[in-house]
Structure 1
């Protein structure tokens, strides 16, 4: 965990440094001075609403799997998990499975499918959003189109079954093949047409909330970027970051968002500053709030350990 935090910290510095290369310090001072800071609370609200809206999806998935816990505990677990938003592939979200296990008594493996379904639904939503953003790319449209379409293949049972078969033939992970099969089977319970469409609708609404945050940031700098375009740009850059498998998409998402903003006729300095502010008011705001909740709710993580010692 300590190593992961160090890597994340280093990549964060590199992300800001990389973006900073393209900016004029004097112009940054000017934009910061002229920025209507009264907008910041609203920007942060929309930035964090992305996660709050996804809590609805979380509840839908829990109910579908028959996992019943008090809503306030469920919310605390969900928000605590946001502390792991910057981990590679968001693998740290599995802490929510541990917390669910301690609170509900359900086996760890039985709740892992909820985490997998969350991440996969996000990937599908980002792919859908990104398809509309191909027009912003100068090159590589065919490759990006394939990257947007490939995630949808996972909805066909033959694809995950093939993945399980491959796992069975890899010595180091073959003993986990049965666990993977169980998780995938549970995920397909969550991906019934009605549940999937409802979850996807909620997810698209959640990502639109981040688009509103970016829209307000760019507007505050004196430039125009519609909510739809802002959502598409943020979604496309996030997908590129997800595919990089770097913690939180650091460096890749930041640079991609800046580049896409420039392609949208936003000058380099406000584009870079806008990208940094957008990431601070979304990803890092979630990590900070999630960390505070995790500290308060640490008993959900260690409850079983304390009971065993007792």
Structure 2
């Protein structure tokens, strides 16, 4: 828990610096004035839609575990999934492999067996979000080149993870490296699970669930704009959110902090034509409702999951494994 606390403190400090810099850039008075127009009556709907998006992602998580034949009691699985949201602030959300460590503590399944489920989540997060972005790009004749680039990267990544030849090469290389040789026996297990999860049927099913889940979150983002009195089309807001989110993930910064905010503010200003103060206020609210709300749920999940992995000692053991 101490490491998670330190990482969270660092991410929060960085985020505060980013938001302060954006507020100063836009003019503190304009920023405060824009925030002051927020319609609080829409807050329950915004957070409710975000929660629905996480329910959809949990359904996908359970589906992936089913594909690789891993069973986890429902209550424990919900807590484990929620705890993974605390890693929303990790680079590319790949810190969510913590869920695999917790499953190892609950039922003994090797981490190498379930870690590909986390990778598959990230892959279909990308394909689902790209689809939403392409809808916006095609609807408003925006250039889809950036989105197609992300899609191409995802396709190449999936092909690499499913390649048996590359798996054998990685296994041989690791077996010859001091300290890393103990990982070699797990490569084959990891590749086997990856091949199952990234096959055509699971990939299509995962992308479909992701598309629906992201639809809830995109709706929440649009309601953030409505709550500030922004009158822009739904798919325009979705396009901006999709591109900025993908840029944030691609930056590999913790939680995409800085990159995603710059993308949102810049596109709301330059593409949607919002005043700088309003663009920054909308960016701030979107990140609170998505990134930081998820992190808060994840922190609660970490405390709940302790009941299933044996308290503080179990958490430490899970991280070491």
Task: Identify the residue that residue 296 of structure 2 maps to in structure 1.
Answer: 288
Question: Is the CA contact 2:161–2:194 (under 8 Å) kept in the aligned structure 1?
Answer: no
Kindly state the Cα deviation for residue 265 of structure 1 after the two structures are TM-superposed.
2.0
Q: Is 1:11 the counterpart of 2:14 in the alignment?
A: yes
SS in 2 for 1:85: helix
Structure 1: state its 5+ residue gaps: none
Kindly state the Cα deviation for residue 188 of structure 1 after the two structures are TM-superposed.
1.7
Residues 15 and 184 of structure 1, relative CA distance in 2, 3 Å threshold? farther
Task: Identify the residue that residue 261 of structure 2 maps to in structure 1.
Answer: 254
Kindly state the Cα deviation for residue 278 of structure 1 after the two structures are TM-superposed.
0.6
Question: Is the CA contact 2:23–2:280 (under 8 Å) kept in the aligned structure 1?
Answer: yes
Task: Identify the residue that residue 245 of structure 1 maps to in structure 2.
Answer: 252
Kindly state the Cα deviation for residue 179 of structure 1 after the two structures are TM-superposed.
2.5
CA RMSD of aligned residues (A): 2.9
Residues 17 and 244 of structure 1, relative CA distance in 2, 3 Å threshold? same
Kindly state the Cα deviation for residue 305 of structure 1 after the two structures are TM-superposed.
5.1
Residues 265 and 177 of structure 1, relative CA distance in 2, 3 Å threshold? farther
Q: Is 1:102 the counterpart of 2:109 in the alignment?
A: no
Residues 122 and 180 of structure 1, relative CA distance in 2, 3 Å threshold? farther
Kindly state the Cα deviation for residue 245 of structure 1 after the two structures are TM-superposed.
0.4
* Superposition TM-score, scaled by structure 2 size: 0.84
Kindly state the Cα deviation for residue 120 of structure 1 after the two structures are TM-superposed.
1.7
* Superposition TM-score, scaled by structure 1 size: 0.87
Q: Distance in 2 between matches of 1:156 and 1:174?
A: 24
State the aligned residue count: 306
Task: Identify the residue that residue 275 of structure 1 maps to in structure 2.
Answer: 283
Q: Distance in 1 between matches of 2:87 and 2:13?
A: 16
Q: Distance in 2 between matches of 1:42 and 1:236?
A: 24
Q: Distance in 2 between matches of 1:162 and 1:14?
A: 45
Task: Identify the residue that residue 131 of structure 2 maps to in structure 1.
Answer: 128
Kindly state the Cα deviation for residue 7 of structure 1 after the two structures are TM-superposed.
3.3
Match of 2:197 among 162, 187, 190: 190
Residues 303 and 114 of structure 1, relative CA distance in 2, 3 Å threshold? farther
**For 1:1-310, what aligned pairs fall within 5 Å after superposition?**
1=3, 3-132=6-135, 142=145, 145-156=148-159, 160-161=163-164, 163-164=166-167, 165=169, 168-169=172-173, 171=177, 175=181, 176-262=183-269, 263-302=271-310
Kindly state the Cα deviation for residue 137 of structure 1 after the two structures are TM-superposed.
11
SS in 2 for 1:63: helix
Q: Distance in 1 between matches of 2:290 and 2:160?
A: 34
Question: Is the CA contact 1:121–1:200 (under 8 Å) kept in the aligned structure 2?
Answer: yes
Q: Distance in 2 between matches of 1:217 and 1:304?
A: 38
After superposition, what is the alpha-carbon deviation per residue over 1:41-78, rounded to whole angstroms, capped at 9, x for unaligned?
11111223222210110111111111122222211111
Kindly state the Cα deviation for residue 95 of structure 1 after the two structures are TM-superposed.
1.6
Kindly state the Cα deviation for residue 184 of structure 1 after the two structures are TM-superposed.
2.6
Question: Is the CA contact 1:46–1:210 (under 8 Å) kept in the aligned structure 2?
Answer: yes
Structure 2: state its 5+ residue gaps: none
